């Protein structure tokens, strides 16, 4: 056999690609893109304002319940004797509650103390006079001629339906119950306290308040005008 020559093999050289530069370039491009496409300060501020507005709107849309603060609530009444004069005064609240949603009353009820009738006008004879004094009027209104407060010491109103700024409900007075409507309801809410006011006019004859003046030219109006003022604390 012939001579064999061995040729030394040269070690293979492996070329390693430089991956570092392309990776850095991609990261850099992504960073630039994020900066270029990100929201501006004005957009961020607008988004915050919208989020706050949405939060307030959601809060306003929630139904909230309030317990009536009797010491801060009252019923104001006006009765008119046609051809002579009118009287007005207050009656104290004893208890109640009401609910509010979206700035409007959605339900509620309250009770008043019929023994707390207190005239506020000045159309009276001086104390000690034989007739026409304030205490005489209170006594007369408390008697069976009017509200018979010894037999019916309280009156109540409970809402059964609401439409806009009006609420229909059951008024119970002197043992009789009829549907009546509270109109012009206005509600304010602040710091866990709500105030609701409204007007109610009812025909006294429907409740047995049937007193008639002895003089033919003097007529007591059948309509008794009430203003309801409720102040409630969040439950």
| pTM for the whole structure | 0.73
What is the mean pLDDT of the segment spanning 112-139?
Answer: 95
For residue 22, is pLDDT > 70? no
Distance between CA atoms of residues 97 and 105, nearest Å: 11
CA-based nearest residue to 142, from 172, 118, 170: 118
Fill in the DSSP letter of residue 27. Answer: H
Architecture of domain 63-234: Beta Barrel (2.40)
Query: To the nearest whole percent, how much of the chain has pLDDT over 90?
Result: 66
Contact indicator for 105, 159 with CB cutoff of 8 Å: yes
CA-CA distance, 54 to 65, in Å (whole number)?
22
CA distance linking residue 77 with residue 229, whole number of Å: 11
Instruction: Evaluate whether 86 touches 122 at the Cβ level (below 8 Å).
Output: no
pLDDT digits (tens, 9 = 90+) for 75-89: 999 999 876 789 999
The pLDDT value given to residue 59 = 60
């Amino acid at each position: 056999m012939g001579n064999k020559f061995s040729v030394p093999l040269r070690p293979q050289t492996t070329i390693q690609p430089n991956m570092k530069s392309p990776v850095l370039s991609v990261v850099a491009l992504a960073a630039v893109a994020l900066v270029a496409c990100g929201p501006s300060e004005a957009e961020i501020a607008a988004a915050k304002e919208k989020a706050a507005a949405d939060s307030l709107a959601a809060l306003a849309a929630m139904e909230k319940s309030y317990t009536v603060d009797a010491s801060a609530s009252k019923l104001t009444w006006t009765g008119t004797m046609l051809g002579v004069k009118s009287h007005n005064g207050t009656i104290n609240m004893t208890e109640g509650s009401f609910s509010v949603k979206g700035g409007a009353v959605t339900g509620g009820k309250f009770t008043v103390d019929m023994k707390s009738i207190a005239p506020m006008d000045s159309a009276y004879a001086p104390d000690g006079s034989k007739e026409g004094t304030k205490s005489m009027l209170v006594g007369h209104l408390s008697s069976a001629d009017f509200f018979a407060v010894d037999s019916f010491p309280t009156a109540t109103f409970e809402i059964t339906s609401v439409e806009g700024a009006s609420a229909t409900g059951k008024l119970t007075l002197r043992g009789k119950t009829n549907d009546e409507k509270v109109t012009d309801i206005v509600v304010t809410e602040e710091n866990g306290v709500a105030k609701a006011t409204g007007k109610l006019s009812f025909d006294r004859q429907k409740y047995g308040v049937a007193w008639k003046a002895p003089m033919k030219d003097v007529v007591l109006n059948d309509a008794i005008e009430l203003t309801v003022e409720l102040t409630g604390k969040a439950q």
